[in-house]
Structures are given as structure tokens and as C-alpha cells.
Amino acid sequence: MSEIEEKKEAEKAADGNDSAKEKADAKKKKPVKKYNLPRHKFWFGIGKPLTMAFLKVKANFKRTKNDLTERPYMILCNHACDLDPLMVINSVPGVVHALASDHLFKHPVFGKFVAHIASPIPIVRAQMDLKSIQEAMQVRKDGGSLLIFPEANCCFSSKTSYIAPAIAKLVKKFKMPLALFNVRGSYLTKPRWSNSWRKGRTSCVLVRVIEPEELAKMSVDEIYDAICEALSFNEMEYQREHHFTFKGHDLMDGAERMLYQCPKCGKMMVMKSEGDSIFCTECGYKVTMNREGFLEGDDVVFDSFDRWDDWQREQAVRLVSEGHYDATGKTPVIITPENELYKAKRAEKNVLMGEGSFALYSDRFVFDTPNAVETDEEGNTVDLGPKQFVWHFDDITKLSCVHKNRIQIAVGEKEYFEIHSANTYRSAYAYMIYFYCLKRHAQGKELDFFGM
């Protein structure tokens, strides 16, 4: 064989190897999630009447008429209750795929059931990652509607919480008709902090539709302002006007998860709920919730959750801005016992790492455990004994409240942890507020964002 022929054979073999390598790499890559619209249409056809009946019984849901046609929309809505997705889906024609917390997928049975019926898109750390965006783009390509709650969390204090400006860029990028909704009454039906349900009146109102042609002419800032204006809602101010009655039992059970600071003596983590009331274990201050959702008592300081919460936030700003804490980092700003530390993964079961105290300092979080545990890939656990886990503010990319009283700490781009506690005295909400105050103060920024 000549030198030229040998060279050609070598190049051909190399091309064959490259081709084989590309095929092997392609097999290793997971296929893009494909949404089965016929299957989803079948289940939505069955599920909508059933969930509508459930909402009427559970939450006295009144569906309001709108002129939406059956076509793909990007749907944005405020978020106050776990029933909100069902209310929106029953107010929109066609199949709707919601962006949902990855905690939904961690349940071995329910998570798979919901995924099969509606294919919600899992998000972690209360924000969309690249994989979530890719799946959302696939929904758009396949002709489905997208449902997003821009607050990325149920509100705590009855009013729409912070909306990240990034949502406007996403809306601009997707070029879909934008439908903006308001849910009303869902906060008092099942407040995020509550252990009990109550029945009053709920609705889901279409506020505005912005067509793709109009979106193309709007700037990102204009889109963001339109979203914030449409989604802004305060349940307690709405109640001052309408006075709907919400009947139930143990109306304040769990309220100390949000109302963590006594408005009379000013101490934190001293409030305790009992039935329809909440009281301070230090000074005895006590209020009771009536059936319209307002607070009553002999010495009421704030008659609603939103006003009490506004005061709590003002106290956090004052404490940090005026330096009423140990800036050296030797004494904790907040510390509570009886916590559990978990390592969390996207849409997978959490792994226990230890039990112990959880503290917030001026520049870091510290979890102290006498019984740290390590789990290998096979699920085997190894006792490591006493250990201290430390997360400095500079390494934390996101801090969120999850469910009623869990704290989720994102470190870097892929690693995150959760701190659970069965003790309602320990308010995850309080940790979040003081963390953002301390971090923004250290950065020289205004103390006007508390995250969720």
C-alpha cells in the first residue's frame, strides 16, 4: 500500500472513530423532555371538572369569566396558597404546564403521578436554572401554556412579595401572549404559615393580556412594571373593603412562623399560637383572629398580618442600620435549637446530615451538630460525630423559605442545603429577613429587599 493510500485509510479510520465517539456521547446525553400533549389533554379533560368541584367545596371558588381563547399563553399570577395553581388552570382553556418547586417531585408516588398527568417543570432555590428554561422552551415548542408564579413562593403576610426583574427578560424572550392573573381570597383560605384550612370565598381574575406584538414594542423595564402592577395584591386591604367571612378552626395555629416578634415587648421567637389566638410567652400580649381575618384584643397594636409584618421588617432594618448587634461575629443575632440539616438535590429526596442548633451571625450561618452523618451513593450512613457546618454570606447565592418553616441555603450554582424544624418558635421567615438585611448592609446597599 502506498503512502497516500495509507494516509487515506488512517483518515477514514479516524473519521469512523470520531463518528462512533459522537454516537456514544449522544447516547450518554439524556433526551430533551418531550411533552405528550394528547395524554395531557386527556387528563386535563378529566381533571378540570374534578378539581373545579374540589375547589368549590374546599375554598368556595368562584370562576370569573374571561375572553381567553384556546392557544398557548405565558401565564403569570400572584401566589398566596397551594391551591393557586388549580385556580389558575381552571380559569384558562387548554393544557397548562406549571413551574413548580422541586419538592413536589421528591414524593415517590404523588410526584410521579403529577408528572405523568401535567408534566410540571421543577425549579430549585426558587429560581429557574438552565434545565428549567430548556424544558419551558420545549413546552412552548409543543404548543402548551406556561404557568409561572414570579414571587417563586407563597407570600407570608397577605400581600404580593418581591418579584425579580429577570421575569421580564423571560417574557420578552419567549414571545408568547402574556396573561396576568390575580388570585383573591386564597391567603385567608390557607395562609402559608397555617396548619388549618378555612372556607370563605376565592376567585381568580384576569387582569390583563399583552399580545406578542405589544410585548415586542415594550422595553424590559416596561414589561416588568406591567407585571408588578397587575400582580400587586393585598388580601387584608381587600378584606377591609369586602369583609368576606372565613369559617374554620384553630385560625392562628402556626402564626408564630410569620409573627415572630412581639409588638409590645419587642422580643423575638417568643410568640406562641393556640387555637384562634397568639400570645407572647414573655409579656403576655395576646390577640385573637376573627372570621374576617383581622386581629382583636384588649390591647391590639396591629389589627392585620401585613401591618404587623411591616413593623417587623422595620425593626430588622433599624437593628442592622443602627448597629444593635454584634458586628464582630462572636455573638449570634438569632440562634435556635432543635433543627435538622439536610443535603438537597434537584427533584430528589433530601439526605439527613445531622441534628443540632442553627445560628445566624453578622457574616455567616452556623449549624452545630453532635451527631453528623454522611451518606454514600448506596444509601449507607456513617456517623462522623460532632461537626460544625459554616456558610459565609459571600458564598451564599440564594436564601429561601420552603414550605411553612424550612430554610434553603444555596451555595454556588449546584450545592444547596435545607434546615428543618418541627418547633414553630423557630421562624425561617425571621432568619431570611435578617440575613438579607445583614448582607445588604455589609454591601452598602439599601435594606429594601428581603427575598423569599
CATH number, domain with residue 414: 2.30.29.30
Task: Identify whether residues 117 and 81 lie together within a single domain.
Answer: yes
In a domain, 21, yes or no: no
DSSP 205-258: EEEEEE-HHHHHHS-HHHHHHHHHHHH--BHHHHHHHH----EES-TTTTGGGT
Give me the count of residues in the chain. Answer: 452
pLDDT band at 23 (very low <50, low <70, confident <90, very high): very low
Task: Identify whether residues 339 and 315 lie together within a single domain.
Answer: no
pLDDT, position 14: 45
217 phi and psi angles, rounded to 5 deg: -85, -15
Query: pLDDT per residue over 102-156, tens digit each?
Result: 655 566 666 666 666 666 777 765 455 677 777 788 888 888 889 999 988 889 8
pLDDT band at 7 (very low <50, low <70, confident <90, very high): very low
Task: Identify whether residues 220 and 110 lie together within a single domain.
Answer: yes
Query: pLDDT per residue over 61-113, tens digit each?
Result: 999 999 999 899 999 999 999 899 999 999 999 888 888 766 555 666 666 66
Report d(CA 304, CA 50) in Å as an integer. 34
Ramachandran sector of residue 444 (left: φ over 0; alpha: ψ -120 to 50; beta: rest): left
In a domain, 401, yes or no: yes
DSSP 401-429: EETTTEEEEEETTTEEEEEE-S-TTS-HH
Task: Identify whether residues 81 and 107 lie together within a single domain.
Answer: yes
Highest mean predicted confidence (pLDDT) among 54-58, 374-378, 403-407? 54-58
DSSP single-letter state for residue 192? T
Cell numbers describing residue 323: 448597629
- Radius of gyration (C-alpha) of the chain in whole angstroms: 25
Q: What percent of the chain has pLDDT over 90?
A: 63
In a domain, 19, yes or no: no
Task: Identify whether residues 80 and 147 lie together within a single domain.
Answer: yes
In a domain, 13, yes or no: no
Task: Identify whether residues 290 and 158 lie together within a single domain.
Answer: no
**Which amino acid does the sequence have at 360?**
L
Exposed, middle or buried, 57 (CB in 10 Å: 0-12/13-18/19+)?
exposed
Task: Identify whether residues 367 and 425 lie together within a single domain.
Answer: yes
On the question of pLDDT at 220 being above 90, the answer is yes
Dihedral angle of Cα 185, 187, 188, 194, to the nearest 10 degrees: 160
* Residue range 42-63: mean pLDDT, rounded: 91
CA 151 to chain centre: 7
Residues spanned by the domain of 346:
334-442
On the question of pLDDT at 29 being above 50, the answer is no
Can you tell me whether residue 306 is helix, strand or coil?
helix
Which domain CATH number covers 107? 3.40.1130.10
Query: pLDDT per residue over 330-388, tens digit each?
Result: 999 999 999 999 998 765 778 899 999 999 999 999 999 999 988 877 777 888 899 99
420 phi and psi angles, rounded to 5 deg: -105, 160
pTM of the model: 0.83
Mean pLDDT of the chain: 86
DSSP single-letter state for residue 157? S
Contacts of 419 (CB under 8 A, 6+ apart): 339, 340, 341, 342, 358, 367, 406, 407, 409, 428
DSSP 261-296: B-TTT--BS-EEEETTEEEETTT--EEEE-TTS-EE
On the question of pLDDT at 181 being above 90, the answer is yes
Domain count, the chain: 3
Closest Cα to residue 124, out of 347, 444, 356? 347
Inter-residue contact 334 to 430 (CB < 8 Å): yes
In a domain, 447, yes or no: no
Task: Identify whether residues 233 and 254 lie together within a single domain.
Answer: no
- pLDDT higher at 214 or 381: 214
